[in-house]
Structure 1
Amino acid sequence: MSPAPIPPLIPPPIPPLPDHMLRQLGRTEGDTGTLGVLVRDQDTRRLLLLRALLDAAGAAPAALCPPPALDRLRQDWALLEKAERTDRSAVRTVLFHPLTGPWAQRCLRGLSGTGTGTTAGPGPGLRADLDHLSALAAAAAIRAGITFTTRLTAHDGLLSLPTLGALRTESGPLGITFEDGELTVREAGGGLLLTLRAQPDGTAGSADPRWLPVLALPALRSGLGPVPLDDVDPYRTDGSGLRRHGLSAATHVDDHERKAWAESWAGVAPLLRVGGEHRLTEAAVLLRCLVPLGPPPGSGPAGEGAAHCSGTRREAFGAVLSSKPATPAYFASTLVHELQHTKLAALAALVPLHHEDATPRHFAPWRSDPRPFDGLLQGAYSHLALADYWQRFARGARRVTHRDLAWAEHARCREQVGAVLPVLAGSAALTREGRVLVNEMITLYHRLDDCPPPTGHLARAQAYVATAKVIWQQRNGSRTQ
């Protein structure tokens, strides 16, 4: 039995990026058309990834993917196809959910024998990964509003319905029925476990405390869907190397913390607009979910250590991982910072920007360790956007304390970028597209000179970067750029 075709037909390849779009991105900008090209390419890649997963399951040894498991995958896909015919957008919401990406990658590794399973048989991790397609299909069908009955398996005390929430329950198979907007969950013996009601906004609600819904933060712009604050998806930090990148572990937010996130989020849209309409546009187009992290490593009751941490994942396009920002202004700047990484990673997947190797050898004022060229480019790009954002914020701030804080942030970011731009510009390994991008970054960097920061902030920023380089050289020996 050949695998079922992936619904719907995969869109045609994205044509080469026009130079005017590339120049927009080089200035850390991008209108809806330009950003839409990146989004469509990433969505196409997600469909191809899912196609590859089904093909890998069909080609895997029976020990890794036994016939019953393969049949189940095809049944799940048939449910997705049925939901697709009813409401394409609903299915895409689930399949393009950022955290579906890490799951699909993990499945592929397991099916190839390089992940959780072996050729002697699937490990429990691979079995759970394969089961997750059933949960994705059920969530898509719920969103599409179609009647279905299926069986799901809870793992590690949670039954996940991606983009909707999770149910605290003992691990094991559960019967699921959805009809007339109501989801019924029954135990293996037939006993009623939970009833959920699908809501018009795409959420699922229940008064039962065992149900953990995904919090839906209001849309950044009218006409768009809400932004999930996903603290229950089992793949939200899988394989992300949080500690290695200085990030804290994923956390579940309680009712008090949810209120704090929601209050801070309420001020994000107007503050993004302070940095230019393009900042609100990129967040509205690119941001698909937030994943809450705990306090940063090293933080303590006395306030020592980092106050905030955030990150993105290339395999989870559209997700921003973040500890709770202290203020709406820092929430907005976190999005500015992280969405540049999202944007640049998507651009690099579409067109090669350089041919430098991955050897970590470059000084970056925002890191204590040597960086590879690509990491240097990523960091410079995001810090350049921050320098632009904080300069605009400072020029529009009415309160002296807000203005001083913004100028300090701007001056530090601008000096950090200035310390590494010569390395980027001097690389002979830049492609034509990479050269256009870096040239536009240089243009924006010099445009910031039109409104320099106060002398004191500039002097402190220059001293900060100079000190960072001395410490870096002492720590990393004779390695140079």
Structure 2
Amino acid sequence: MIPPLPDSMLRQLGRTEGDADTLQVFVRDQDTRRLLLLRALLDAAEAAPADVLAPHALDRLRQDWALLETAERADRTAVRTVLLHPLVGPWAQRCLRGLSGPGSATGPGPGPELRSDLDHLSALAAAAAIRAGIPFTTRLTAHGGLLPLPTLGALRTASEASVPVDVVFSGAEVTMRERGQESISAHTQPDGTTGSADPRWLPVLALPAVQSGIGPVPLDDVDPYRTDGRGLHRHGLSAATHIDDHERKAWAESWAGVAPLLAIGGEHRLTETAVLLRCLVPLGPPPGSGPTGESAAHCSGTRREAFGAVLSSKPATPAYFASTLVHELQHTKLAALAALVPLHHEGPEARHFAPWRSDPRPFDGLLQGAYSHIALADYWQRFALCARRVTHRDLAWAEHARCREQVGAVLPVLAGSAALTREGRVLVNEMITLYHRLDDCPPPSGHLARAEAYVATAQVIWQQRNGSHRP
């Protein structure tokens, strides 16, 4: 049994805050879950019948695992950087599903999807060995035109088909050779970044840390498991995208302004970003936003199985970049909290009105949305009170008023639920306290009136579409 979180931590979290000690509880728990998941993957492989995992494939998996163990003995921190990378989570879960499924219909051995997933373990082991400084020679398999070395970068191959690539690492140099092509070398730096004069090498861009003493934030546009490719448009998200040098520069320039803007929201906004954010995954422009994605509209999301990852289209300004992090890291916090302690016993039925969605939401989705939006209301209010330019102040008040009215429309449903656990009740009560605290500095009346009209209209439209559900 996991001991209950102290009420002091729950109250912090209910205010959408959380000091470093509180957030580290989540980090330790999620890291432990990841390592257990990887161990479960190894156990599932050992137990898999031959029609699911052929002996030669199991032998290769054991070799990869042995390389991981060798690398960990040399540099545990370096290897954990790879194994705890957020996008390893979706990969490991896919492997477990594949190993638990039926064998290939075409004969003994894994099917094409599982075979590709298991090939990725070889790439993970190679990346871990590179980070740990362990020399090796191996043969990896590229799929779909890319050979990723997770957290480091990827080789763009000449063929879109599955092709072998010989990889040698010695010193600080990685040499890769696709069959029938000239070899390519990439150099590793002490900070874990890579570089090459050959355009076939696509390095993961490292964005500077928002606080001193922590590592950079990778902008990962090459990992094949950054999205699963299903259901993104339904949730208002575009597909993951590869970014060119011009777009990388734009991301880096926007990121450079994020830290001071996060600080406007309070020291806790910098802390949660420093502790929880482990990688950014660039998405394409939001559906319907046009080909450039330069408007203020953008899309973002998180994945529970990818703790520490934020998926986002390129925000139009550093202010929207900061608010995206505030929004999405609340989902990260609340999901991690719910993994530790149950917050409610409501069922999964989607029947609730949420002003930020056109479809009915389950209770858990309502709680998640209210939690992230009240954090945004708090952030934009602080931004408005500090803004010097009238245009910036007006934008912030408009965002604050809209988010606050949206939360106000659903808080009674959350507070009235008899299915909240004790921890859930503490959390929701603190959300209500924060909601009323925002009244201390109300927005200009015009912004408030427009926000009220916005939420009222959203509810009318929702009821017309979903009349059989409860608003």
TM-score normalised by length of structure 2: 0.96
Question: Partner of 1:235 in structure 2?
Answer: 225
8 Å CA contact 2:296, 2:316 repeated in 1: no
1:138 and 2:129 matched: no
What SS does the corresponding residue of 2:447 show, helix, strand or coil? helix
TM-aligned CA distance change 1:417 to 1:122, over 3 Å: same
- Aligned equivalents of 2:11, 2:132: Cα separation in 1: 39
Name the SS for the 2:183 alignment partner: strand
Q: What CA distance in whole angstroms lies between the structure 2 residues aligned with 1:303 and 1:71?
A: 47
- 8 Å Cα contact 2:127-2:152 kept in structure 1: yes
Q: 1:325: how far off?
A: 0.3
Q: Which moved more, 1:234-243 or 1:438-447?
A: 234-243
Q: CA deviation at 1:151?
A: 1.7
Aligned counterpart, 2:353:
363
* Counterpart position of 2:164: 173
C-alpha deviations, 1:153-193, integer Å up to 9, x for none?
Answer: 1111111100000001133222211111111223458x751
What's the secondary structure of 1:235's corresponding residue? coil
Query: What residue in structure 2 maps to residue 464 of structure 1?
Result: 454
Letter in 2 for 1:184: T
Q: In the TM superposition, what is the alpha-carbon distance from 1:71 to its structure 2 partner?
A: 1.2
Choose from 13, 30, 39 the match for 1:42. 30
Instruction: Please state how far the C-alpha of 1:74 moved relative to its aligned partner.
Output: 1.2
Partner secondary structure for residue 197 of structure 1 = strand
338 and 117 in structure 1: CA distance in 2 versus 1, 3 angstrom threshold: farther
Write the mapping of 1:243-282 to structure 2, written as runs, cut at 5 A: 243-282=233-272
CA distance in 1, matches of 2:195, 2:109: 38
Aligned AA (2:80): R
Secondary structure of 2:307 counterpart: coil
Partner of 1:88: 76
Aligned counterparts of 1:62 and 1:179: Cα–Cα separation in 2: 36
**Is 1:214 matched up with 2:204?**
yes
Instruction: Show the 5 A alignment for 1:329-478.
Output: 329-478=319-468
Q: Deviations over 1:8-36 (max 9, x none)?
A: xxxxx864311111111111000000000
RMSD (Å), alpha carbons:
1.9
**What's the counterpart of residue 77 of structure 1?**
65
SS at 2:419 equivalent: coil
For residues 90 and 50 of structure 1, the distance between their equivalents in structure 2, rounded to whole angstroms, comes to: 17
Question: Corresponding residue for 1:299?
Answer: 289
Alpha-carbon distance in 2 for matches of 1:177, 1:80: 16
Give SS of 1:378's match: helix
CA distance in structure 1 between the partners assigned to 2:124 and 2:225 by the alignment:
12
Inter-CA distance 377–116: structure 2 relative to 1 (3 Å threshold): farther
Contact 2:9 2:18 in 1 (8 A): yes
Structure 2 residue aligned with 1:183, among 174, 188, 201? Answer: 174
Letter of the structure 2 residue corresponding to residue 326 of structure 1: A
Indicate conservation of the 8 Å contact 2:286/2:293, yes or no. no
Quick one: which of 160, 163, 168 aligns to 2:148? Answer: 160
Q: Does residue 125 in structure 1 map to residue 145 in structure 2?
A: no
Aligned to 2:184: 194
Q: Which runs of 4+ in 1 moved over 6 A?
A: 114-120, 302-306
In 2: Cα distance, 1:195 partner to 1:306 partner: 40
- Call closer, same or farther: CA 1:84–1:413 in 2, change over 3 Å: same
Give aligned pairs, total.
468
Contact 2:229 2:239 in 1 (8 A): no
Partners of 2:195 and 2:49 in 1: CA distance: 41
Query: Is residue 2:311 matched to residue 1:326?
Result: no
Instruction: Structure 1 unaligned segments of length 5 or more: list them.
Output: 1-12
CA contact (8 A) 1:64 1:117 kept: no
Could you say if the C-alpha distance between residues 118 and 411 of structure 1 is closer, same or farther in structure 2, counting changes exceeding 3 Å? farther
Secondary structure class of the residue paired with 1:63: coil
* Distance in 2, Cα, partners of 1:370 & 1:56: 38
In the TM superposition, residue 302 of structure 1 has moved relative to its aligned partner by 9.8
Q: Is the 8 A contact 2:54 2:108 kept in 1?
A: no
8 A contact 1:113–1:119 mirrored in 2:
no
Aligned residue in 2 for 1:100: 88
Q: Which amino acid aligns with 1:214?
A: V
Identify unmatched segments of 5+ residues in structure 2. none
Letter paired with 1:252: H
Deviations 1:115-156 (A, max 9, x none): 998996522111010011010011011011111222211111
- The 1:116–1:365 alpha-carbon spacing in structure 2 relative to 1, beyond 3 Å, is farther
Call closer, same or farther: CA 1:61–1:105 in 2, change over 3 Å: same
Letter in 1 for 2:170: E
- 3-state DSSP class of the match of 2:164? strand
Letter of the structure 2 residue corresponding to residue 370 of structure 1: P
70, 94, 98: which one pairs with 1:110? 98
3-state SS in 2 of match to 1:315: coil
Q: Deviations over 1:262-283 (max 9, x none)?
A: 0000000000000000001001
What is the identity, as a one-letter code, of the residue corresponding to 1:195? S
**Percent identity (aligned):** 85
